[in-house]
């Protein structure tokens, strides 16, 4: 997509946005709507970033399990107005597959009791009782994921559910992962809370995930295709296939952005820069000759990569679930998703498809594996789980994501703050989004960050900490979303 300069006006020193995902496009949309000159540089051939939708023939696949829901009524109204009849209301159903059984997700007390059986339930309760005693004698270190979860649920449940899946997802031991991740993602307060609810002695509302959500008819990427088109109609510009390679820094200001398109380098003067690319990359561009502390932080902040194996199927349905978590460590895949559960138009009539999410690291065996080899291996895993697709798989396609999830290693806050301090030295640079502030956020929060950045630029003021603090309340992600039921 290339949008010509409005009215032939060759803009001088526009606002340049690095990255055309939810955060960057929301910033550009807001600026363009107010008449500001803005240019978006997006490395991929389509807008949307991690929320793009890839099309293979008549089948559409997102990059993960995206959905739109927000506490922000104004943002929700704007998105619904933008999408019109193309925005659907969907309902998700998720399960955790473990040892041949399906557990409701998020984990619930009645479901655990029913599926674990008498022996394992007694073992779990004894493990939790042991933790209560230990807490009085020698409390665990709860700064890391393992300690936080074990202290609240006991060793048996940690070893069965939480630990193996977490290590598979992140690729490092849970003792090296900050407990921040657990606090955001686990709905039950502890096993004691679950037991009290089970016998009816506690009835206060449980923290949970929203089941109903908004979803575009043709995949999440449709939302950002439309946002990019609207932004262009209002005078903005987006360059796709534009790979940012550096920043020209003079004093405490960025004067221009360097980028490549089809092997040719361009220099784009700028008045402001709003970055949504990875925080370590931005810090490197700002300070190529950085101090040892900055170099250490750049090396420490890493993201977990993902490889998606997309498989069209010659059957009408694969399962009744939107997605299924594969908890056991012997399986390389971490999640199975069926796109038609969000919108029937993700597949041709009478067909379905699945998307296998496989955590990996850039350059490892999974990342580099031949597509046919990986397909055969995943087919065997599916067969072991009770799904034989050998006779119904029509094709397979891989999509790679380098920066999937920020890895919350122990001490990540210090490393993140070190790099954000480098960004703060630049008078005309802001950063936001999942990669830009190295924080796990959903797309509505990323959009709010982009809109806030636009407002700060239009006002000629900077408040980086305000952008970074959007939706940082100590609450389970999604709990209070407007579409929750």
Strand partners, 400: 307
Residues 43 and 186 in one domain: no
292-300 vs 279-286: helix crossing angle, rounded to 10: 160
Angle (nearest 5°) at CA 81 between 80 and 87: 40
CATH number for position 231? 3.50.50.60
Contacts for 110 with CB less than 8 Å, ≥ 6 apart:
198
Contacts for 119 with CB less than 8 Å, ≥ 6 apart:
none
Strand partners, 256: 248, 269
Q: Mean of the per-residue pLDDT values for the chain?
A: 88
Q: List, for residues 244-303, the tens digit of each pLDDT value.
A: 999 999 999 999 999 999 999 999 999 999 999 999 999 999 988 778 899 999 999 999
The dihedral formed by the CA atoms of 18, 19, 22 and 27, expressed in degrees to the nearest 10: 20
Question: What was the pLDDT predicted at 154?
Answer: 86
CA-based torsion, 243, 245, 250, 253: positive or negative: positive
Domain count across the chain: 2
Question: What was the pLDDT predicted at 135?
Answer: 81
374, 309 in Cβ contact below 8 A?
yes
Token pair for residue 96? Answer: 């955790």
CA dist 106 to 71, 186, 208, Å?
A: 20, 8, 7
- Which residue stretches of the chain have pLDDT < 70? 1-11, 107-109, 185-209, 473-485
Residues 250 and 287 in one domain: yes
Question: What was the pLDDT predicted at 477?
Answer: 43
Question: What was the pLDDT predicted at 335?
Answer: 96
Phi and psi based region of residue 245 (left: phi greater than 0; alpha: psi -120 to 50; beta: remaining): alpha
453, 30 in Cβ contact below 8 A?
no
Residues 113 and 194 in one domain: yes
Among candidate residues 198, 233, 255, the one where a domain is terminated: 198
Residues 293 and 413 in one domain: yes
Residues 263 and 117 in one domain: no
Residue 397 lies in a domain: no
Indicate the burial class of 87 (C-beta count within 10 angstroms; 0-12, 13-18, 19 or more): middle
Length of the chain equals 485
Residues 128 and 186 in one domain: yes
Question: What was the pLDDT predicted at 187?
Answer: 56
Residues 164 and 31 in one domain: no
Residue 424 lies in a domain: yes
Question: What was the pLDDT predicted at 338?
Answer: 98
Residue 447 lies in a domain: yes
Give the up-direction half-sphere exposure of residue 124: CA atoms within 13 A in the CB hemisphere. 23
Taking the C-alpha atoms of residue 389 and residue 308, their distance in angstroms, rounded to an integer, is: 17
Domain membership of residue 175 as a residue range: 108-198
Residue 177 lies in a domain: yes
Residue 482 lies in a domain: no
Residue 210 lies in a domain: no
Residues 241 and 281 in one domain: yes
Among candidate residues 198, 233, 264, the one where a domain is terminated: 198
């Amino acid at each position: 997509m290339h949008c010509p300069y409005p009215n032939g006006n060759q803009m001088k020193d526009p606002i340049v946005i690095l990255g055309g995902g939810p955060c960057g496009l929301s910033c550009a949309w807001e600026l363009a709507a107010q008449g500001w000159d803005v240019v978006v540089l997006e490395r991929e051939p389509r807008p949307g970033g991690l929320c793009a939708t890839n099309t293979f023939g008549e089948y559409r696949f997102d990059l993960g399990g995206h959905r739109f829901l927000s506490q922000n009524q104004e943002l929700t109204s704007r998105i619904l107005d933008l999408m019109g009849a193309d925005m659907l209301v969907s309902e998700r159903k998720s399960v955790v597959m473990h040892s041949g059984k399906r557990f409701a997700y998020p984990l619930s007390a009645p479901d655990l009791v029913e599926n674990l059986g008498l022996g394992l339930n007694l073992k779990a309760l004894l493990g939790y009782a042991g933790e209560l005693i230990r807490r009085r004698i020698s409390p665990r270190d709860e700064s890391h994921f393992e300690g936080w979860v074990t202290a609240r649920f006991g060793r048996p449940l940690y070893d069965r559910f939480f630990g193996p899946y977490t290590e598979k997802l992140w690729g490092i031991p849970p003792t090296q992962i900050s407990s921040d991740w657990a606090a955001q993602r686990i709905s039950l307060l502890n096993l004691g809370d679950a037991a009290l609810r089970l016998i009816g002695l506690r009835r206060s509302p449980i923290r949970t995930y929203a089941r109903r959500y908004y979803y575009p008819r043709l995949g999440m990427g449709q939302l950002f295709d439309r946002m990019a088109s609207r932004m262009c109609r209002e005078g903005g510009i987006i360059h796709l296939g534009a790979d940012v390679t550096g920043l020209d820094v003079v004093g405490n200001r960025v004067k221009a952005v360097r980028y490549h398109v089809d092997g040719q380098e361009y220099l784009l003067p700028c008045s402001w820069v709003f970055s949504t690319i990875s925080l370590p990359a931005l810090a490197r561009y700002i300070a190529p000759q950085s101090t040892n502390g900055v170099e250490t932080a750049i090396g420490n902040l890493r993201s977990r990569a993902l490889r998606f194996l997309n498989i069209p199927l010659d059957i009408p349905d694969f399962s009744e679930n939107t997605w299924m978590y594969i908890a056991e460590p012997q399986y390389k895949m971490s999640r199975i998703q069926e796109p038609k559960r969000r919108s029937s138009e993700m597949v041709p009539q009478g067909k379905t498809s699945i998307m296998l999410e496989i955590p990996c690291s850039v350059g490892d065996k999974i990342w580099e594996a031949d597509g046919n080899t990986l397909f055969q291996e995943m087919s065997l895993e599916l067969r072991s789980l009770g799904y034989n697709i050998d006779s119904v798989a029509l094709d397979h396609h891989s999509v790679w994501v380098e920066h999937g999830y920020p890895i919350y290693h122990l001490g990540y806050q210090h490393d993140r703050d070190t790099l954000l301090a480098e960004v703060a030295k630049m008078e005309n640079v802001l950063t936001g989004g999942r990669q830009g502030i190295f924080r796990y956020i959903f797309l509505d929060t990323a959009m709010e960050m982009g809109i806030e950045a636009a407002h700060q630029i239009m006002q000629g003021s900077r408040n980086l900490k305000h952008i970074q603090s959007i939706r940082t309340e100590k609450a389970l992600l999604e709990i209070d979303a407007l579409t929750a039921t």
